[in-house]
Structure 1
């Protein structure tokens, strides 16, 4: 399936000309191996994909014993894989390179040799156990790969015209009209249910069957749980506790993660590694409280107050009813029957977080609690940086009546903030200098 990151790979090939390797980092089953293989087949005269998750003993011995003699090293790999090597026209793909850190360390010398290009793919790349015994090569560019966004989902559905039209409407703040908006919202509802994991999208495109798609997503979730057990050694119980509790936390009106729901005596310092693990595995998107947005988001981050979203909303839908059958999952009915307001907090905020993250934003929100003067309490769902200004973003249902937190935030920081946005289920409109956008336009912010 067509992926935007392919263009990024082309830019790397053309601009760097072998001066560095590219490391493609992403969650399991996000499509890294597939896109790397397609890139090698389409853009190079020859390519060799070495799967370090299933490494033959003979290839392992080549990496362990022959790397000091690169002529012999390349000749043996060429012979084993029966692939002719061509200087500057061959790509080596080191797939799941975290499984064999020695290969990642060797990249420094392979790049210096200059004969071939090197594309690495991996998950859990930053975990200490995957890097503690190697020198991470400086000749390596790190690129994150996310689940398919809404535009990529539409491409898979055979639609390449809708998003350019939406982008033009966004840039000119021109309403789509009810007929077009209704059609796009129907497509967006399907995207929320299916999600952006390529296997799930592929099954849905072929079958249009949500039950079959749900089965694929549950397999992916089971794989994630197996990874936790295997790689989060020493604190796997904490990681699983946070992971299992995410749907319940997001279903609440108050989205900030409350560890007391897991354990009354739990403290964030005890669970910090677990949150970091889920983030580095790119299973979760952590969103932190920026207490003073006028001085920069990262500079005023309060890390003990956070929200934790699922990296893929389709997986969240299945995760919410993991033990139930497809027919018992109420979310499918609610969304398809246009009852999105029933679970608006869980799904709408999660899909916005997913789209913002895919667009390159780090996730921050603003929360202020004044126990003595409750009228000063406020919470803004997301804060994004745009043209050196901090823009507040609120997520609302189509029937919302007021935006008191946004009004208080604008008054408090009026000299320092940029354009405020409300994302909701209706068409584009500008009211009280606030730009109201349909949910599917979060990708343009």
Structure 2
């Protein structure tokens, strides 16, 4: 039985794009297996016809785009090849695995200029590597849309917990959730941290499959990601990329130390790391002095932490004991490998606009006898808001207070397993609600 399609927030954006009177070709970007193609095929249900061109499987079709013919002629030929009409307003044309045909990527701008009435979507895995070869690609003529694994919100909706998410959205530090509802949300969050957000894993779980089935899917995904390393760049050995990837997993959430990350020099390690970031498997969190907006104006790219793409895959790679996490009532047990901090960073990235890729930042002050670190920084209006992540309910907030005093931010956020509440100028937002942080009332 084919898996039932599970709602993604990106679906609303895709549908809105399809209804625009003036639209650009859409380039759907993100790591492999995060649900790009599935979302586009779901959008196709709103069209009379759907033409899917997979350049990885049908390499001969690429020759059409190398002849320099008009978009209309390309479509006429595609219509004959696939025996499906391509009619503006009635047909959704989908270029999948477009990274396998550089000429097709280049053609997107001409579709915008000469055939704007046609609905055209493109997607691809390892697409960022292909775009690197086209530095001036489609500026102003192609719209990018970024897709990530499931967020906690999407996980709740997939599990028919829409009412619970509605209650979480309405809660504020001044108006906490009832304790039984808070505990239910924490329990579901614990499951989400273990499962992660990879669509195939979530679909399996929702269908009632066992945790063992979900773990096997994770294993398959990890193998397929590592198999891709050979496709990244010919001048970087696969073994070096694997070493750097393993080092990121072992030290996720901690400052990334280049020395010892692989049996290679700084330049080679940096190159392997950059490839992993481009592939979407590793998400950097960069240090900022945070003296003013934009936060990215005063960064130190040599001071970075690295997050894995997904908490489920991360725990599986590290071989953590899932049963201990499931059976324990102590939420801090879940935080093996700084998983609360990793989850929080991933949720922050998923909660920003899908039309641009927002970077993640942290702040650290290193002075003798006065070290301080804030896990994440976000910009709300004209202010920089510091966020501290705690797995349990304990822990001082010295770093937050120090940041607020030094940078004169209006308030800070602590995210933990506590219910919504507030301590003077610090708002407490439960970990399960951190994806809603940009929308929480002041």
Q: TM-score over 0.5 for the alignment? A: yes
Alignment of 1:17-416 (within 5 A): 17=22, 19-40=23-44, 42-57=45-60, 59-65=61-67, 67-68=68-69, 70-114=71-115, 115-127=117-129, 129-132=130-133, 136-138=137-139, 139-170=141-172, 173-235=174-236, 236-250=238-252, 255-263=254-262, 266-267=265-266, 269-321=267-319, 329-342=320-333, 344=335, 346-360=338-352, 361-370=358-367, 373-374=368-369, 376-414=370-408
8 Å CA contact retained: 1:247, 1:346: no
Secondary structure, in 3 states, of the residue corresponding to 2:171? helix
8 Å CA contact retained: 1:386, 1:418: no
Secondary structure, in 3 states, of the residue corresponding to 2:273? helix
Deviates more, 1:74-83 or 1:422-431: 74-83
C-alpha spacing 1:305/1:264, structure 2 compared with 1 (3 Å): farther
- Distance in 2 separating the partners of 1:202 and 1:29: 13
Q: CA deviation at 1:10?
A: 1.8
- Distance in 2 separating the partners of 1:133 and 1:365: 31
Q: CA deviation at 1:73?
A: 2.9
Secondary structure, in 3 states, of the residue corresponding to 1:259? coil
Q: What is the number of equivalent residue pairs in this alignment? A: 423
Secondary structure, in 3 states, of the residue corresponding to 1:435? strand
C-alpha spacing 1:275/1:336, structure 2 compared with 1 (3 Å): farther
Secondary structure, in 3 states, of the residue corresponding to 2:415? strand
Secondary structure, in 3 states, of the residue corresponding to 2:105? helix
Q: CA deviation at 1:159?
A: 1.9
Deviates more, 1:233-242 or 1:28-37: 233-242
C-alpha spacing 1:81/1:428, structure 2 compared with 1 (3 Å): same
- Residue matched to 1:325: none
State the Cα RMSD in Å: 2.1
Runs of 4+ in 1 over 6 A off after TM superposition: none
Deviates more, 1:342-351 or 1:160-169: 342-351
Secondary structure, in 3 states, of the residue corresponding to 2:280? coil
Question: CA-to-partner distance for each residue in 1:229-255, whole Å, 9 max, x for gaps?
Answer: 22232224443222112232137xxx1
8 Å CA contact retained: 1:101, 1:131: no
Q: CA deviation at 1:31?
A: 0.6
8 Å CA contact retained: 2:196, 2:312: yes
Normalised to the residue count of structure 1, the TM-score between the two structures is: 0.89
Secondary structure, in 3 states, of the residue corresponding to 2:161? coil
- Distance in 2 separating the partners of 1:422 and 1:64: 54
**Structure 1: stretches of 5+ with no match in the other structure:** 322-328
**Structure 2: stretches of 5+ with no match in the other structure:** 1-5, 353-357, 438-442
- Residue matched to 1:324: none
- Distance in 2 separating the partners of 1:91 and 1:431: 52
1:431 equivalent to 2:393? Answer: no
